[in-house]
Amino acid sequence: MLEQATLSVGGDTYHLPVVDGAEGDRAINVTKLRETTGFITLDEGYYNTGSCRSAITFIDGDQGILRYRGIPIEQLARKSTFVETCWLLIYGELPTREQLRCWSGLFTKYEMIHEGLYKHFDGFPSTGHPMAILSAMINAMSCYEPSLIEMESPATFQIAAARLISKIRTIAAASYKASIGLPIVYPKPHLDYCSNFLHMMFSIPFRDYEPDPDTVAALQLILILHADHEQNCSSSTVRMVASSGANMFASCAAGVCALWGPLHGGANVAVVEMLQHLHDDNVDLNDYIRQVKDKNSTLRLMGFGHRVYKNYDPRASIMKELADNLLGKMRERDPLLEIAKRLEDVALNDPYFVERRLYPNVDFYSGVILRAMGIPVNMFTVIFAMGRLPGWIANWREVNEGGATLYRPRQIYTGGLARDYVPIDERKSA
């Protein structure tokens, strides 16, 4: 017999089915709770709510484990490429040589964006945030790809996915060029995914950027590490939008907006701003940590702690190693990396952080690496979006393959009680 959970409320007892995940994760299925008991479950901020069943990414936050389709992130970081990881996340298996060849070929084939789309960049002021532009442009892309909106066959899905992943780097680099008033650079078909993006970011007319192998490898790793992360805010947003039957472009554009927030993808910007402030104002790190711990202070240690990880975020360890390697090869030392490492040291030797299980997360070192690669701060979250895109697409696909059920949470109403409409002349002034 299937295991059941027992709930006693108001003198009645109810039985609720227990759901087992593949890795020992367990849930109580409350779908029918309201129907049978009149109660809903309330979990503001979704601290303990499983919103779906998913076969894409597994996290064990206590142990600090992250796997894409069962493969540990450490192995993918060492052995895979971003293009291969995209396939793995979307299709569930590592590609064969032939599948990878065709998949990469699609990225090259679709790297250009429609000339009409370039004109949209003229409509944004140079002060426009690249995340606003990215989201708008992904949505605009759907206007140029109407045949891909319905996605009636696996082949159309594959083309739409490859187009989106390929073109996001072209859009991202073009939005950067537009923001600094330099001519947009077209992609080069012989370059790999990451080199091509760096070329579009940093080449200028008559001066081609020569991709530096260390920078290319660093970008590759950053994209892999960000490629998916279970039901994070932006992926949940993509699933929510997809559940209404919205197309892949609209759903991923919504994902970009969710990622933009400083509590989600914008956090690496906040980390670099914090490190810069510590450096410029020569702040004593012990003092800073003391203030962070002060109950009356609003100061936060950015890049520390994670909703799911109660251990070192496995991506942060890889990022730290990458930061050391990449920055170690540079002629000038980056004082922000030194500050980040000292800050981590001070925090992790303080019982306050250890007892609360607050460890560095993926954002703690990523900004320092992106800075070293010459990526401007306002593009940090755009790079995160480029990395997260395959995860969003994999989630979009999973929602659609399951025969989309509309995601529609309930609420506990806390507003005023029923009352009559008052005509404007009879209303009392405030």
Chain residues binding ligand MLT by CB under 6 A are 229, 232, 264, 306-308, 361-362
Q: Which residue is nearest to ligand MLT (CB)?
A: 232
Q: Characterise 279 by phi-psi region: left (phi > 0), alpha (psi -120 to 50), beta (else).
A: alpha
For the stretch 285-288, contacts whose Cβ atoms lie closer than 8 Å and that sit 24 or more positions apart, written own/partner, are: 285/339, 285/342, 285/343, 285/346, 286/346, 288/343
Residue bearing tokens 């995914």 = 193
Nearer to ligand MLT, 362 or 386 (CB): 362
Nearer to ligand MLT, 162 or 399 (CB): 399
163 to 124, 138, 147, 213, 255: CA distances (angstroms)? 23, 11, 13, 25, 17
Within its chain, how far is the Cα of 200 from the centroid? 22
Nearer to ligand MLT, 362 or 369 (CB): 362
Rounded CA-CA distance 274/301 in Å is: 8
Shortest separation between residue 279's beta carbon and ligand MLT, angstroms:
25
Rounded CA-CA distance 333/292 in Å is: 27
Nearer to ligand MLT, 216 or 259 (CB): 259
Could you tell me which of 167, 165, 203 has the C-alpha nearest to residue 84?
A: 165
Nearer to ligand MLT, 47 or 413 (CB): 47
Shortest separation between residue 12's beta carbon and ligand MLT, angstroms:
36
Shortest separation between residue 167's beta carbon and ligand MLT, angstroms:
22
Nearer to ligand MLT, 196 or 361 (CB): 361
Shortest separation between residue 232's beta carbon and ligand MLT, angstroms:
3
Please give the positions annotated as active site. 306, 363
Half-sphere exposure of 50 (CA within 13 A, CB side): 15
Shortest separation between residue 201's beta carbon and ligand MLT, angstroms:
23
Could you tell me which of 18, 16, 9 has the C-alpha nearest to residue 39?
A: 9
Shortest separation between residue 384's beta carbon and ligand MLT, angstroms:
8
Nearer to ligand MLT, 110 or 384 (CB): 384
Shortest separation between residue 268's beta carbon and ligand MLT, angstroms:
10
Q: State the Cα torsion 154-156-160-166 to the nearest 10°.
A: 90
Going across the sheet that includes 4-9, the strands are 4-9, 12-20, 26-28
Residue 281 has φ and ψ, to the nearest 5°, of -95, 10
Rounded CA-CA distance 332/316 in Å is: 23
